[in-house]
């Protein structure tokens, strides 16, 4: 393992100052970063421990939303009463992830920035455009079963592996960020990137910046929401395909809907085509299926992950059916 | 001698070292300390086949803390130890991706790891051939298969039987590469003191490690001591020496310093052995009442180019059911892959999966209840040898299981039970595993004051050997377990076989019984024990050789319920029941955990485990436990084990058949059967993951 320095930040400002030097990384729960250090995937010179910084807790906002500090642990966020009542999809997404021990350590900020679980990215003896630009993507002709089907590029088919961000994407969360030049923020759909020709960057977070908080705008029908995760074992596995959805139905007609898919793309995938296709439609299995087909028409799977198209469709249709009050 | 204490064999006494283990006091191989120790880190090939052209060791040797880099250019020459995998650093040839091409030795583990990563190697890349198929041009018939079984066997006319059968099945069943992955990865600490070599190794048998080291390094066996006091699991992967122990000893020899090595989880997928992918073509023919008229099981597996290992996949099909016409064959392809090796129930686990899945297919085409179909095919004698069984209680297991599980209420129709978005079904399969015994030594010493020191070269790999050996000795001596101290897993003890083939307890235990009985007869009751103690040592070759020529097997029946999510194709198991007949159960607690562990591993095999071959880069891409999945608690709710009382006097004197492997045998077939009953979809390629089902499930909305 490469030797590195460690320092404990005393303020956001001091952390940002340290992060101004290239080769510096913030350390939150460490559940992803430390693994990647051991594997030699991340090789920082300096770790800035931000665990003692106060990014705030979980606060209700005036519009019925929530403001969540970057240091809030996944376990605490999942257990929060406001989260569970206003946005059950978020609590469910969090609880579907990792294990109890990991969730106790994992922070809101670190969770958003967890790296892909593509096995090629995590194995430094193999090429990977994300880790080693220009070296190639062996996943495309190789073991691609778990990888992306939407928004992929010829250079990378990695997925964002997380669950929380999928729920936050359905909710259109705002990521608040601080930099040496002052604070800024991103709508979550603008925060995550598609791989394109530069898969090295997962997000548009500026170099040396810190995530300070996540804001969820109010969503009146947020309470009618859920999160489903299809995976290779019943717990402690990343999703093959996941669905975060909230549904607003009046008189058997879809008034509004929010859908995001996980496990299918380099970013949590807001299913805007499906959403658009559903608004104003009758609540029937047929409209759900048509919406799923419309969203997935753009999928470009490999032979190994072609099943994800059918899986995503069934998952999406089943989840909407459940939210519409159908028999589970 | 003391007054007879109440018998303890069979009692669920807790593991004697349990407290030491949970408090961290028990030391595993890597945890021993040694002065001036060096840390070894293997460098693994990044090509599949070819030659090493140049190793840029100068850069690495210049790093602070790096003491030595061993390569094929400077490593000591080794004698052949009968396993090509152990001939490490002996040539410039690379035979698979992940093979060891250099060993870095440094004063700290992090330096060793960093230096190993920094070693650049230039290769000549000669391509790869890593994908097994039943049509692979390199398939050949090995001389024999694992454990000395015949490659091919044939009786009657299989094809003719098919022409006249009432019911037939003809299908291919496959299992992927599976990786043992015990909790404790392979590790060694080796130190020389002059010509004396002292080794702590995570191994299932120190005698075989000692023998191999003596041979390969040209050492006097009397100077080689190997100990494995605590071992965090093996599942067969530590059943013979692995490259780790050879590398550590080699490095200790070259540097004159103690050397430690431990595999990372990732290394386990190339350097520890694994279960070959298997392809089984099984054809069954039966008459109208379900009696089999033909059984044909043709199997295809892989080995490496440096060592032959032929898994005996079709061997169990020679014993489970009888038929007048039978064909069992094994074909093997030597590919550019790491050498497969033993993994829990080699042969039986994939072989019985295939045969029992075929029986399930036959039950479906014939409409005969799958329990009754199996009972109808119960043989009178071992179909292969024609000899009697020492005891055979498969029917008892099936009947008891059916009763406990409520099988009688089962509606045989496929794909009709819905519970919300779930389809529900039940399945059954049989299992069997040979009850083997081999010769072992043991010694026991009586001490004044009523204490006894037992020395037996058993290995406790978590199965509870230490505890059961103490129980056996306690009963044989007529004293409480607390009067006995157990010394094991040390090659200086009388020679003992490996903890493998579910035969350890029977083999070591026989020697323990014999030693204790001899001690008891030599030390007359009430006679004082001399101050230095009184010791006897025995060996059981003559006893084992005198066993009657009978067929000895443990049997089991699995009954399981599966729930399949119509939206996702995910399968979970609300209920799994295993009923076993394995002779006398010697410790109800440790036995239960063996059965449960075997069934859990069988569940993993059914639903989760799969080495994902990258046919371009030539290795298994998912080489850690976050991506190579094994079952988690949430995959099964009610996991239940029962065993039948079975008295079999044709076994070792304790009357047990060995239980380490029987639990995994048949589980996967039962799960596949339940999934078919639930969904109507029969999966014949394990594991049954969402991608196998999703395209074939019935519509969610009717
Ligand atoms: C075995 C295993 C299984 C898992 N399963 C799942 C799963 O099923 N679903 C799932 O969603 N996740 C899963 N995870 C991932 C887990 O959720 C993440 O590791 C965790 O959320 C990361 O949070 P952390 O605080 O530990 O981040 P760290 O590891 O500390 O950091 C992660 C990254 O974020 C950066 N960072 C951290 N905080 C900030 C900040 N405030 N501002 C800027 N940068 C920051 C770090 O520099 C680092 O690059 C699993 C992890 C493991 C090890």
User: Using one digit for the tens of pLDDT, what is the confidence trace for B135-193?
Assistant: 999 999 999 999 999 999 999 999 999 999 999 999 999 999 999 999 999 999 999 99
Closest CA to B394 of B457, B470, B316: B316
B388 DSSP 8-state letter? P
Task: Count other Cβ atoms within 10 Å, centred on residue A282.
Answer: 12
Q: Which tokens sit at A126?
A: 């193999």
CB contact under 8 A, B690 and A233: no
- Residue B128 or residue A1, greater confidence: B128
B637 touches chain A (CB under 8 A): no
Cβ contacts of B623 on chain A, cutoff 8 Å: 119, 123
Pick the CATH number of A58-113+160-216 from 3.30.465.10, 2.40.30.30, 3.30.470.10, 3.30.9.10: 3.30.465.10
**Axis-axis angle for helices B588-607, B348-366 (nearest 10):** 70
Select the residue from B63, B66, B130, B567 to test the A interface by mutation, using most A Cβ atoms within 10 A: B567
Domain with CATH 3.30.465.10 in chain A: 58-113+160-216
- Supply φ then ψ for residue B210, to 5 degrees: -60, -45
Residue B4's pLDDT is what? 66
CA distance B156 to A234: 47
Nearest C-alpha of chain A: how many angstroms from B114? 5
**Axis-axis angle for helices B504-522, B465-477 (nearest 10):** 30
> Quick one: pLDDT band at residue B1, thresholds 50, 70, 90?
very low
Q: Supply the residue whose CA is at minimum distance from atom 35 of ligand 1.
A: A110
> Quick one: pLDDT band at residue B6, thresholds 50, 70, 90?
confident
Nearest chain A residue to B630 by CA: give it: A233
Each domain of chain B, given as residue ranges in start order, spans 18-27+438-543, 32-127+183-271, 144-177+275-435+550-701
* Sheet-wide strand order for B93-94: B93-94, B50-55, B121-125
Task: Kindly give the pairing relationship between strand B187-193 and strand B259-262.
Answer: antiparallel
Separation of CA B169 from chain center: 30
CATH architecture of A5-49: 2-Layer Sandwich (3.30)
CA distance B585 to B590: 9
Q: Which residues contact A220 (CB under 8 A, 6 or more apart)?
A: A64, A248
- Residue B87, SS3? coil
Length of chain B: 702
Judge if B18-27+438-543 and B32-127+183-271 fold alike in CATH terms.
yes
CB B622 within 8 A of CB B630: no
Q: What is the mean pLDDT of chain B?
A: 97
Is A113 near ligand 1, meaning CB less than 6 Å away? yes
Length of chain A: 328
- Residue B616, SS3? coil
B563 touches chain A (CB under 8 A): no
CB contact under 8 A, B569 and A311: yes
Is A244 near ligand 1, meaning CB less than 6 Å away? no
Pick the CATH number of B32-127+183-271 from 3.30.365.10, 3.40.1010.20, 3.40.50.970, 3.40.470.10: 3.30.365.10
- Residue B676, SS3? helix
- Residue B3, SS3? coil
The single residue listed with the structure tokens 């965090």 is B232
**Is domain B18-27+438-543 classified as CATH 3.10.450.50?**
no
Q: Which tokens sit at B674?
A: 């339940």
Q: Which residues on adjacent β-strands are paired with residue B283?
A: B170, B296
Report how far apart the first and last C-alpha atoms of chain B are (Å, whole number). Answer: 77
- pLDDT tens for each residue of chain A, 328 residues long: 788 999 999 999 999 999 999 999 999 999 999 999 999 999 999 999 999 999 999 999 999 999 999 999 999 999 999 999 999 999 999 999 999 999 999 999 999 999 999 999 999 999 999 999 999 999 999 999 999 999 999 999 999 999 999 999 999 999 999 999 999 999 999 999 999 999 999 999 999 999 999 999 999 999 999 999 999 999 999 999 999 999 999 999 999 999 999 999 999 999 999 999 999 999 999 999 999 999 999 999 999 999 999 999 999 999 999 999 875 4
**Axis-axis angle for helices A307-323, A285-296 (nearest 10):** 140
CB contact under 8 A, A230 and B572: no
CB B143 within 8 A of CB B276: no
* B473 C-alpha to ligand 1 centroid (Å): 52
CB contact under 8 A, B690 and A307: yes
B64 touches chain A (CB under 8 A): no
Residue B515's pLDDT is what? 98
Cβ contacts of B613 on chain A, cutoff 8 Å: 143
Among B266, B568, B616, beta carbon nearest to A138: B616
H helix and E strand count, chain B:
16, 28
Nearest C-alpha of chain B: how many angstroms from A285? 7
Closest CA to B661 of B608, B594, B600, B616: B594
Residue B528's pLDDT is what? 87
* B611 C-alpha to ligand 1 centroid (Å): 26
CA distance B276 to B304: 10
CB contact under 8 A, B612 and A145: yes
* A174 C-alpha to ligand 1 centroid (Å): 19
Select the residue from A96, A98, A234 to test the B interface by mutation, using most B Cβ atoms within 10 A: A234
| Percent of chain A as helix, strand, coil, to the nearest 5 | 30, 20, 50
**Fold annotation for B144-177+275-435+550-701:** Aldehyde Oxidoreductase; domain 4 (3.30.365)
CB contact under 8 A, A310 and B615: no
Nearest C-alpha of chain A: how many angstroms from B130? 13
The single residue listed with the structure tokens 């955990």 is B593
CA distance B333 to B523: 58
Domain with CATH 3.30.43.10 in chain A: 5-49
Helix ranges restricted to H, B132-280: 158-164, 206-217, 243-255, 265-271
Q: Supply the residue whose CA is at minimum distance from atom 7 of ligand 1.
A: A97
Residue B454: exposed, middle, or buried by beta-carbon count in 10 A (0-12, 13-18, 19+)? buried
Domain with CATH 3.30.390.50 in chain A: 225-327
B607 touches chain A (CB under 8 A): yes
CB B261 within 8 A of CB B236: no
Task: Kindly give the pairing relationship between strand B484-487 and strand B451-455.
Answer: parallel
The model's pLDDT over B579-602, given as tens digits with 9 standing for 90+, comes to 999 999 999 999 999 999 999 999
Q: Is B348 a catalytic residue?
A: no
Select the residue from A45, A119, A238, A313 to test the B interface by mutation, using most B Cβ atoms within 10 A: A119
**Fold annotation for A225-327:** Enolase-like; domain 1 (3.30.390)
Q: In ligand 1, which atom is closest to the CA atom of A70?
A: 41
B141 touches chain A (CB under 8 A): no
Question: Considering B68, B229, B646, B661, which one is annotated as catalytic?
Answer: B661
- Residues B594-611 have a mean pLDDT of 98
- Residues B592-617 have a mean pLDDT of 98
The answer on pLDDT for B3 being more than 80 is no
The model's pLDDT over B390-430, given as tens digits with 9 standing for 90+, comes to 999 999 999 999 999 999 999 999 999 999 999 999 999 99
């Amino acid at each position: 393992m490469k030797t590195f320095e460690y320092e404990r930040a005393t303020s956001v400002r001091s952390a940002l100052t340290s992060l101004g030097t290239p080769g510096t990384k913030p350390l939150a729960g460490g559940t992803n970063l430390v693994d990647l250090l051991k594997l030699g995937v991340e090789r920082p010179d300096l770790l800035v421990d931000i665990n003692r910084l106060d990014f705030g807790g979980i606060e209700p906002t005036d519009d019925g939303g929530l403001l969540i500090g970057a240091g809030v642990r996944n376990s605490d966020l999942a257990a929060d009463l406001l989260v569970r009542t206003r946005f059950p999809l978020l609590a469910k997404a969090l609880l579907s992830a990792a294990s109890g021990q990991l969730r106790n350590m994992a922070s809101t900020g670190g969770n958003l920035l967890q790296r892909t679980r593509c096995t090629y990215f995590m194995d430094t003896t193999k090429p990977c455009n994300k880790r080693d630009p220009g070296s190639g993507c062996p996943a495309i002709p190789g073991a691609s079963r778990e990888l992306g089907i939407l928004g992929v590029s010829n250079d990378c088919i990695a997925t964002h592996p997380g669950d929380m961000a999928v729920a936050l994407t359905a909710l259109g969360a705002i990521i608040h960020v601080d930099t040496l030049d002052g604070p800024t923020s991103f709508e979550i759909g603008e925060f995550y990137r598609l791989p394109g020709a530069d898969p090295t960057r997962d997000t548009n977070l500026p170099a040396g910046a810190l995530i300070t908080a996540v804001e969820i705008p109010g969503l009146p029908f947020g309470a009618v929401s859920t999160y489903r995760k299809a995976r290779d074992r019943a717990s402690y596995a990343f999703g093959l395909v996941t669905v975060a959805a909230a549904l607003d139905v009046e008189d058997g007609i879809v008034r509004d809907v929010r859908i995001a898919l996980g496990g299918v793309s380099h970013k949590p995938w807001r299913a805007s085509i499906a959403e658009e296709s559903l608004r104003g439609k009758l609540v029937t299995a047929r409209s759900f299926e048509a919406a799923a087909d419309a969203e997935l028409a753009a999928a470009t799977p490999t032979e190994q992950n072609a099943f994800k198209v059918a899986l995503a469709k069934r998952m999406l249709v089943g989840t909407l059916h459940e939210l519409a009050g159908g028999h589970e | 001698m003391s007054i007879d204490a109440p018998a303890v064999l069979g009692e669920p006494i807790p593991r004697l070292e349990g407290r030491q283990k949970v408090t961290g006091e028990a030391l595993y191989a890597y945890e021993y300390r040694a002065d001036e120790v060096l840390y070894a880190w293997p460098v693994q090939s990044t090509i599949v086949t070819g030659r090493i052209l140049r190793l840029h060791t100068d850069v690495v040797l210049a790093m602070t803390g790096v003491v030595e880099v061993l390569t094929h250019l400077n490593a000591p020459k080794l004698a052949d130890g009968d396993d090509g995998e152990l001939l490490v650093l002996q040539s410039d040839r690379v035979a698979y991706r992940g093979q060891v091409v250099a060993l870095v030795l440094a004063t700290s583990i992090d330096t060793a790891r960093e230096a190993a990563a920094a070693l650049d190697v230039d290769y000549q890349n000669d391509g790869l051939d890593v994908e097994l198929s039943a049509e692979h041009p390199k398939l050949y018939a090995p001389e024999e298969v694992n454990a000395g079984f015949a490659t091919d066997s044939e009786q009657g006319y299989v094809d003719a039987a098919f022409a006249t059968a009432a019911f037939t099945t003809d299908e291919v069943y496959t299992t992927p590469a599976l990786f043992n992955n015990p909790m404790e990865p392979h590790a060694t600490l080796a130190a020389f003191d002059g010509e004396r070599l002292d080794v702590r190794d995570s191994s299932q048998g120190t005698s075989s490690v000692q023998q191999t080291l003596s041979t390969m390094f040209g050492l006097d066996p009397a100077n080689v001591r190997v100990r494995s006091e605590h071992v965090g699991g093996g599942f067969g992967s530590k059943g013979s020496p692995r490259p780790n122990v050879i590398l550590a000893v080699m490095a200790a020899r070259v540097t004159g310093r103690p050397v430690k090595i431990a595999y990372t989880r990732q290394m386990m997928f190339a350097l520890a052995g694994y279960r070959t992918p298997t392809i089984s073509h099984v054809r069954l023919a039966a008459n109208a009442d379900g009696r089999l008229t033909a059984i044909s099981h043709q199997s295809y597996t892989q080995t490496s180019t440096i060592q032959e290992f032929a898994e005996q996949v079709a061997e169990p099909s020679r014993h489970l059911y009888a038929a007048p016409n039978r064909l069992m064959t094994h074909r093997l392809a030597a590919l550019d892959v790491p050498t497969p090796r033993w993994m829990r129930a080699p042969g039986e686990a994939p072989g019985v999966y295939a045969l029992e899945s075929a029986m399930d297919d036959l039950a479906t085409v014939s409409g005969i209840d799958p329990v009754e179909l199996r009972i109808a095919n119960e043989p009178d004698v071992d179909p292969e040898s024609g000899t009697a069984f020492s005891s055979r209680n498969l029917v008892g297991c099936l009947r008891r299981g059916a009763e406990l599980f409520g099988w009688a209420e089962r509606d045989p129709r496929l794909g009709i039970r819905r519970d919300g978005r779930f389809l529900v079904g039940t399945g059954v399969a049989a299992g069997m595993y040979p009850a083997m015994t081999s010769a072992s030594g043991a010694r026991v010493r009586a001490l004044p004051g009523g204490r006894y020191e037992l020395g037996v070269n058993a290995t406790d790999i978590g199965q509870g050997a230490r505890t059961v050996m103490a129980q056996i000795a306690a009963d044989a001596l007529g004293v409480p377990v607390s009067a006995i101290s157990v010394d094991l897993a040390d090659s200086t003890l009388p020679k003992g076989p490996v903890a493998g083939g579910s035969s350890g307890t029977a083999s070591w235990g026989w020697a323990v019984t014999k030693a204790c009985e001899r001690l008891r007869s030599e030390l007359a009751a009430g006679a004082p024990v001399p101050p230095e103690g009184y010791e006897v040592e025995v060996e059981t070759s003559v006893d084992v050789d005198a066993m009657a020529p009978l067929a000895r097997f443990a049997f089991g029946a699995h009954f399981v319920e599966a729930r399949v999510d119509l939206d996702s194709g995910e399968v979970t198991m609300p209920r799994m029941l295993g009923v076993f007949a394995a002779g006398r159960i010697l410790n109800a607690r440790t036995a239960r955990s063996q059965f449960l562990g075997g069934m859990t591993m069988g569940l993993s095999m059914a639903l989760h485990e799969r080495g994902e071959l990258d046919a371009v880069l030539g290795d298994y891409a998912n080489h850690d436990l976050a991506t190579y999945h094994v079952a988690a608690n949430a995959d099964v709710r009610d996991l239940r084990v029962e065993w039948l009382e079975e008295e079999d006097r044709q076994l070792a004197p304790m009357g047990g058949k060995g239980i380490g492997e029987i639990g995994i045998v048949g589980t996967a077939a039962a799960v596949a059967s339940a999934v078919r009953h639930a969904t109507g979809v029969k999966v014949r390629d394990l594991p049954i993951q969402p991608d196998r089902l999703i395209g074939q499930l019935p519509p969610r909305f009717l």
